[in-house]
Amino acid sequence: MNSAELAGDLVDTALVASAIDPAAPGQDGHTHESVCLNCGTALTGAFCHQCGQAAHVHRTLGAFFHDLLHGVFHFEGRVWHTLPLLAWRPGELTRRYIEGQRARFVSPLALFLFCVFLMFAVIHQTDSKPQTLRPTVAGQVTKGLAGIDAQIAQLQAQRAAKLKAGDDTDDIDEQISALRSSEALIRTGHAPGPISATGDLGLNVFKTLIEDVKDNPELVLFKVETHAYKYSWLLIPISVPFVWLLFPFSRRFAVYDHTVFVTFSLSFMTLLAVVAMLATTAGLDWLTGLLVFVPPVHMYRQLRGAYGCSRGGALLRTFALLLFSTIALGIFAAIIVGSSTD
């Protein structure tokens, strides 16, 4: 079942639930309590002034699914205040959140995690590269195993010749044993370190991997798409020091400010990637090409609004931030590719 069918089923279930359970205990689905059901404090408004719980609790199945949709997707309220500012006035959003306006907006980390979830859901729905790359990866493994088998066969021939001549074969036996251990590691999906079978003939899997990545960059994309969601949170601590370098030793801005800036920026770039993937899937390559110019404009606007930079200062920092972003993404990709070969 795809995500669209699941969403439709949830809506249908909510409608059916409202029909079969229209109200409990009151006919309108409200409890009409006079004290808070959570802490027992007398109610004087829409929310308990002691614990913050909503004064009236819905007790219908339809309300249950409404709360599910509201809690997961924030269909109401804060998300609609957050997304427009994130797109058009990101600096204002960042500054207002830092200065304490929290109830009106989705928190940066919650927004980032949701955007990452959305991006990888779209990747799996629209991108066929992981399926097409599996035969390539399998072919590389098969090629490596065939090379090991050839080395073992060569050593066994040398061993047989030594036995026939009555010579000691301990050194050849050790080489064969090392190669068989290497073969076992590859078959179980673990990359061994450098193994020297002879003085001139060695097996360096890491070197082979680097060469394969150079020849086939899609292999790197495959690994990133497969493993990046597990490490997406690392983009925040990787990026914050680079933003700090834009304002070194400044007393006006704390590390917290930079963290909020980075998290909102990453959230927008993730949503932009979602739009680009959908545009490519729809055959709108011209739109995908135009989206390349959006990140620097967004960075410029966020820098000006969040840090109060002058136009010239924001422009210079935008160029620096573009460079830093490239470095941060490179570090992130290296971590993913490295971890996927452990």
* Between 195 and 65, residue with greater pLDDT: 65
In a domain, 274, yes or no: no
Q: The pTM is what?
A: 0.61
In a domain, 192, yes or no: yes
In a domain, 273, yes or no: no
Q: What pLDDT, on the 0 to 100 scale, is given for residue 260?
A: 94
Angle, CA of 296, 300 and 304, to the nearest 5°: 170
pLDDT in tens, 162-217: 888 888 777 888 888 877 776 665 555 444 444 443 434 333 434 444 554 555 55
In a domain, 99, yes or no: no
In a domain, 140, yes or no: yes
* Between 196 and 272, residue with greater pLDDT: 272
User: Is 133 a residue whose pLDDT tops 70?
Assistant: no
In a domain, 80, yes or no: no
Tokens of 273: 């990637």
pLDDT in tens, 49-59: 888 887 777 66
* Structural domain count, the chain: 2
* Between 324 and 43, residue with greater pLDDT: 324
141 and 68 within one domain: no
In a domain, 161, yes or no: yes
| Cα 18 to Cα 62: distance, rounded to the nearest angstrom | 5
Look up the domain containing 153 and give its range.
Answer: 133-215
Q: What pLDDT, on the 0 to 100 scale, is given for residue 340?
A: 56
- Which of 176, 197, 215 is the endpoint of a domain? 215
Dihedral sign, Cα of residue 335, residue 338, residue 341, residue 342: negative
User: Is 250 a residue whose pLDDT tops 70?
Assistant: yes
Rg of the chain over Cα atoms, rounded to whole angstroms, equals 29
For the chain, give the mean pLDDT: 75
